Amino acid sequence: MNNNFFRNTILFSVFLCILLVGFQIIDYRSRKTSPDQDTFTSNQADPVGNKDTAAFADYTAKTKPAVIVKGIIRPGETFSHALERNKVDRALESQVIEGFSQVVDFRKCRPGDSFCVSLDDCGGLIRCTYERSPLEIYALEPNEDNKSKFHAFRDPVLLECRLTKLSGIIDSSLFSAFSKIGANSRLTMAFTDIFASSLDFNTETRLGDQFDVIVEEYFKDDRFVGYGKIVAAQYKNHYKGFDAYYYRPEGQTKGKYYDSTGREVGTSFLKSPLPVYRVTSKFSRRRLHPILKVYRPHLGVDLAAPIGTRIMAAADGRVSFAGWQKGFGRTVILKHLGGYKTYYGHLSRFAKGIKKGIRVEQKQIIGYVGSSGLSTGPHLDYRIKENGVFRNPFNMKFKPKSRLSGKALDDYIEEQGEWGQLLENNSVPKTLQIETRKIRKQPDGWLG
């Protein structure tokens, strides 16, 4: 009996020791999991969820993390502050920031940027990622030959690219029609930009006009992250049709849009330097000035738009004047090849870097709509002079910038024919193709 009592006493003591050790472990983990931290995970099979790419799985297959710390940059915070708030060791914090400095400028941290720090059971860094957007993720890992040193790089991102066809009919405006088919304003602006030299969507759209667009849509973990390039587009109004197809000739780094005959869709001058506006005064040889109350020529067009609306250069050229010009207020004058000049008056401010002598490209932002000078409200006074004579901007015709020829034209016609059939076929499914792409930078023609 005494022996049994002695043996039971020893077993009970061992059991108490085990319980005490267990409570200490639980207490340690509860202290490490601070309510100030965004996320803390320990020894999970997929600890980083959607924040890292397949590269993380490959790496951690060899070295399984013991601690995962995830966080988000809050308003007013720096990356250093966010690491400190998430209880990351000071020495490790310095390692991470110094390592990332090769590829990331932390002075440009934005609220919502996220990070993930993976540590081994000794507190050593296995991997750290910094995510600025679903397409912009940077990683920091130890060098394989020297674990005390780290290398930073832009991490590849796996995205699903869905080639999608969207179609609509104008019942009030182009923006409204695109919105009704689930497209955002970026796609609408990109569509209008393609035809900016051929169509003025502010004055030339009519109820019943039709449009079709084939565009790349990118998804990450089944969540839409942005539009890639528009592959093909067409617009049919009451009197004719317009079409455009993206094509990048062999050896060139950037593609352009061409019509069905191989002529570049863009001409040397835009129809209008504003994407959205309302005509408040037309080109006239005799107009009653709204402020001076005298009749005088108005050798341009007034395009009303909200203050701050971006103004594009109508064509490639050079700034010949940027400053204050009496009743026109803040004015930019561009000089172009072929004896042309364009005038942009009543600006609220000039775009950064716009000054006399600077070269600009077509569609480059040169200023912003305002009401400076003699003006009754925010608008742009837009004028064109040809060989010293002012012309009505809306009546001028310009030639295409370029035309494909030779093998490039043959290749393009073959490719374009397939896209043209898809645009015309109303029975094709909305999603034409799905493929997975590994991306290290923004895809070609990225719209966002």
How many Å apart are CA 383 and CA 391, to the nearest integer?
8
| DSSP-assigned letter for residue 316 | S
d(CA 343, CA 339) in angstroms, rounded, equals 14
Residue type, 102: Q
Q: Give the mean model confidence (pLDDT) for residues 212-233.
A: 91
pLDDT at 113: 86
Matching residue, tokens 């320990």: 42
| pLDDT tens digits, one per residue of 25-42 | 333 333 333 334 344 333
* CA atoms of 34 and 69, how far apart (whole Å): 11
Superfamily name and number for 278-395: Glucose Permease (Domain IIA) (2.70.70.10)
Provide the pLDDT for residue 30.
37
What residue type is assigned to position 373 of the chain? G
pLDDT at site 289: 61
Q: How far is the C-alpha of 184 from the C-alpha of 64, rounded, in Å?
A: 42
pTM more than 0.75? no
113-171 confidence digits (pLDDT tens): 888 888 877 777 788 888 888 888 888 888 776 656 778 888 888 889 999 999 999 98
For the chain, what percent of residues have pLDDT higher than 90? Answer: 23
What is the percent of the chain where pLDDT is above 70? Answer: 81
The predicted-structure confidence for 333-347, as pLDDT tens digits, reads as follows 999 988 999 999 999
* pLDDT (tens digit per residue) in 240-250: 888 999 998 88
Mean pLDDT across 65-75: 80
Fold designation for 160-267+401-439: Nuclear Transport Factor 2; Chain: A, (3.10.450)
Which CATH fold would you assign to the domain 39-155? Answer: Nuclear Transport Factor 2; Chain: A, (3.10.450)
- Sketch the domain layout of the chain as residue ranges: 39-155, 160-267+401-439, 278-395
Residue whose C-alpha is closest to residue 70's, from 97, 99, 47: 47
Name the nearest CA neighbour of 91 among 119, 68, 114. Answer: 119
The contacts of residue 25 (CB under 8 Å, 6+ apart) are none
Averaging pLDDT over each range in 65-69, 381-385, 440-444, which range is the top one? Answer: 381-385
Query: Residue 61 has what pLDDT?
Result: 46
> One fold for both 39-155 and 278-395?
no
Which pLDDT score is estimated for 211?
93
Lowest mean pLDDT among 24-28, 201-205, 220-224: 24-28
Average pLDDT rounded to a whole number, residues 363-372: 92
